[in-house]
C-alpha cells in the first residue's frame, strides 16, 4: 500500500490477536514496528519472530528498507510506562509516524454486582490507555511538525450495547469520541485519527467460544456473513487507514464485522408481516 514503506509505528497489545496481526501486516508493508506488550514477553517475541521470518521468507522491499521490529514493555494504563515507551521507541527509531491503540480487556459481570475496581480496570486499559498513548504520539508529531496517523481498535460495541460487559461497552463508546474529537483537533496539522471496529474475531479474547464448535456455531449464527472474522482481516483495514490510499479519511470508524451492525434480525421482514 502507498505511503507505508519506511514509516515507524507502535502497536499496543501487539503480542497476540488483532494487535499481532496488525504488527505483522504493517511490517509486511515496510513499517518499522514497535510491539508493545505487558507482563511476559513471550507473545511479543512471537510477533517479532513472525515479522523477522517474513523478511527472510519473502524477498519483499522491507528487507531493503531495513525494517526492524522492537519489543517495548508498558502497561498502557500507566502514565509513566507510556512516557518511557514512547521515549524508548523514538530513541531507537529517531521518530514515530503511526500509533495503533489496540490493547484491550473485558470483564464480564451483571452490572448490579460489577465492582468499581473492575469497571475502572477496563476503562483504564481501553480508554485511558488509548488517551495516554494518543497524547504521547500527538506530542511527538506536533513537536516535530510531522504528519502522522492513529488507528484505534474499537469494537462493534462502540455502537451495539453489550449487557453484562458494562465497562467494555462504555470504553468502546468513549473510543468513538476519542477518535472523532482528536481527528477534528488535529486535522489541520496533517494528523489523521480513525478506528477499526471489529465484530466477532478469532483471537484469544474469545477463548470462551473459538475452540468449541457448538458455541462457535451459535456465535456465527448471529453474523449475517455466517462466520467470525480473522485478525488478518482487521489488520488489512488498519493498514489501509494508515496508507496514503486513505489520505483524505479522518474521524471515521470502519466496521469490519461481517454485517453484525446491520441489525441481523431484519434479514427477514418480520416487522411488516
Give me the active site residues, please.
168
The H or E element that residue 62 is part of is: helix 62-65
> HSE (CB half, 13 Å, CA atoms) of 60?
20
* Binding window for ligand NAP (CB under 6 A); candidates: 9-17, 139-147, 239-247, 258-266: 9-17
102 binds ligand NAP (CB under 6 A): yes
* Binding window for ligand NAP (CB under 6 A); candidates: 3-11, 37-45, 58-66, 138-146: 37-45
130 binds ligand NAP (CB under 6 A): no
Of the two residues 62 and 152, which places its CB atom closer to ligand NAP in the complex? 152
Q: How far apart are CA 72 and CA 47, in angstroms?
A: 12
**Phi and psi, residue 36, nearest 5°:** -85, 140
Q: How far is the CB of 159 from ligand NAP (least distance, A)?
A: 11
258 binds ligand NAP (CB under 6 A): no
- Within 8 A by CB and 6+ apart from 201, the residues are 17, 18, 228, 229, 230, 231, 233, 234
**Terminal CA-to-CA distance of the chain, rounded, Å?**
47
For the stretch 220-226, contacts whose Cβ atoms lie closer than 8 Å and that sit 24 or more positions apart, written own/partner, are 222/260, 222/264, 223/199, 223/257, 223/258, 223/259, 223/260, 223/264, 224/258, 224/259, 224/260, 224/262, 224/264, 224/267, 225/258, 225/259, 226/258
* Binding window for ligand NAP (CB under 6 A); candidates: 1-9, 99-107, 137-145, 213-221: 99-107
194 binds ligand NAP (CB under 6 A): no
225 binds ligand NAP (CB under 6 A): no
Q: How far is the CB of 272 from ligand NAP (least distance, A)?
A: 32
Of the two residues 31 and 133, which places its CB atom closer to ligand NAP in the complex? 133
Strands 253-256 and 70-73, sheet pairing: unpaired
* Binding window for ligand NAP (CB under 6 A); candidates: 51-59, 91-99, 185-193, 196-204: 196-204
Among 13, 30, 69, 167, binds ligand NAP (CB under 6 A): 13
x-marked contacts with ligand NAP along 77-96 as a string, rule CB under 6 A: x-------------------
Q: Please name which of 127, 116, 145, 36 lies closest in space to residue 84, comparing C-alpha atoms.
A: 36
Of the two residues 128 and 192, which places its CB atom closer to ligand NAP in the complex? 128
**Residues near ligand NAP (CB under 6 A):** 12-13, 15-19, 36-39, 75-77, 102-105, 125, 129, 153, 155, 198, 200-201, 203-206
Amino acid at each position: 500500500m502507498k505511503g507505508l514503506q519506511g514509516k515507524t509505528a507502535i502497536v499496543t497489545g501487539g503480542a497476540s490477536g488483532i494487535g499481532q496481526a496488525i504488527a505483522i501486516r504493517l511490517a509486511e508493508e515496510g513499517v518499522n514496528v514497535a510491539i508493545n506488550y505487558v507482563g511476559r514477553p513471550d507473545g511479543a517475541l512471537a510477533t517479532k519472530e513472525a515479522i523477522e521470518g517474513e523478511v527472510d521468507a519473502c524477498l519483499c522491499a522491507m528487507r531493503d528498507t531495513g525494517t526492524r521490529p522492537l519489543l517495548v514493555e508498558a502497561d498502557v494504563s500507566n502514565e509513566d510506562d507510556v512516557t518511557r515507551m514512547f521515549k524508548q521507541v523514538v530513541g531507537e527509531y529517531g521518530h514515530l509516524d503511526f500509533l495503533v491503540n489496540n490493547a484491550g480487556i473485558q470483564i464480564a459481570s451483571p452490572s448490579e454486582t460489577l465492582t468499581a475496581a473492575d469497571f475502572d480496570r477496563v476503562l483504564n486499559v481501553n480508554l485511558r490507555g488509548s488517551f495516554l498513548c494518543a497524547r504521547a504520539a500527538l506530542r511527538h508529531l506536533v513537536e516535530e511538525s510531522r504528519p502522522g496517523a492513529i488507528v484505534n481498535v474499537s469494537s462493534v460495541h462502540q455502537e451495539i450495547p453489550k449487557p453484562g460487559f458494562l465497562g467494555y461497552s462504555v470504553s468502546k463508546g468513549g473510543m468513538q469520541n476519542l477518535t472523532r474529537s482528536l481527528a477534528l483537533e488535529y486535522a489541520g496539522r496533517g494528523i489523521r485519527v480513525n478506528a477499526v471496529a471489529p465484530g466477532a474475531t478469532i483471537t484469544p479474547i474469545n477463548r470462551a467460544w473459538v475452540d468449541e464448535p457448538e458455541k462457535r456455531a451459535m456465535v456465527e449464527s448471529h453474523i449475517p456473513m455466517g462466520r467470525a472474522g480473522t485478525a488478518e482481516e482487521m489488520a488489512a483495514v488498519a493498514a489501509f487507514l494508515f496508507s496514503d490510499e486513505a489520505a483524505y479519511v479522518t474521524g471515521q470508524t470502519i466496521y469490519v464485522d461481517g454485517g453484525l451492525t446491520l441489525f441481523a434480525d431484519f434479514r427477514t421482514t418480520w416487522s411488516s408481516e
